[in-house]
Amino acid sequence: MTGAPGARRRGRPPRAESADTRDRILAAAREEFSERGYEKTSVRGVAKAAGVDPALVHHYFGTKEQVFEEAVAVAFAPALDAPEAVAAGPLDGVGERLARFIFGVWENPATRAPLLAIVRSAVTNDTAAAVFRRLVAGQLLRRIAVQLDLPDAELRAELAAAQLVGAAMMRYVIKLEPLASADLEQIVARLAPVVQHHLTAP
């Protein structure tokens, strides 16, 4: 990570500085997208928040859509272990494992905030929806579907995800009662058989 010879004023920055700057831009981008959503965030705003020139944002990431995709991938990382939760035991317990895993991610404010920001952007902006679609379909649902070995495995995974994301929206965003104040164990107990049904019922 170090050892690049410094002193150049133009061209690529040395490696250590490069990784550092890239991380700083990415952190600023996550913050901006979280707070403002996709539409109101600009490359210029991200650059300003990171304390760099907008050209550097383009240099490291490309377009606003590409910055968003990288920021989303980082924010989404905790949820991307869901396929491992699916694989971590027998298929007849998959409903409970998946419901517990996903609501564990939602219940933790540190992992919830960036996920909420993604869902909000995806629901209100077509470009953000496309990024969400690629990520959720490609890196999450398809990796769950291949473990099912059933017809319509992808449709099954999507409907299970729709239940889990829908319940999270109602609880954490719309704050519908009694769901918003319900005990997490009660929610997992109610969602587990339904997720199980989607994923494995004949």
**Closest CB to a second copy among residues 36, 59:** 36
Q: How far is the CB of 61 from a second copy (least distance, A)?
A: 23
Q: How far is the CB of 16 from a second copy (least distance, A)?
A: 39
By CB under 8 A, name the binding residues for a second copy: 37, 119-120, 122-124, 129, 132-133, 136-137, 141, 152, 154-156, 158-159, 161-167, 169-170, 173-179, 182, 186, 190-191, 193-194, 197-198, 201
**Closest CB to a second copy among residues 96, 154:** 154
CA dihedral (173, 174, 176, 179) in degrees, to 10, reads -30
**Closest CB to a second copy among residues 24, 197:** 197
d(CA 55, CA 121): 24
**Closest CB to a second copy among residues 55, 189:** 189
Query: 182, 172 in Cβ contact below 8 A?
Result: no
Q: How far is the CB of 32 from a second copy (least distance, A)?
A: 16
CA 62 centroid distance within chain: 20
**Closest CB to a second copy among residues 56, 164:** 164
- Over the range 25-60, which residues count as b (16 or more CB within 10 Å of their CB) and which as e? bbebbbbbbbeebbeebebebbbebbebeeebbebb
Q: How far is the CB of 19 from a second copy (least distance, A)?
A: 33
Query: 25, 50 in Cβ contact below 8 A?
Result: yes
Q: How far is the CB of 124 from a second copy (least distance, A)?
A: 5
* 178 prior amide bond cis, ω within 30: yes
Q: How far is CA 16 from CA 3, 5, 22, 141, in A?
A: 8, 10, 10, 36
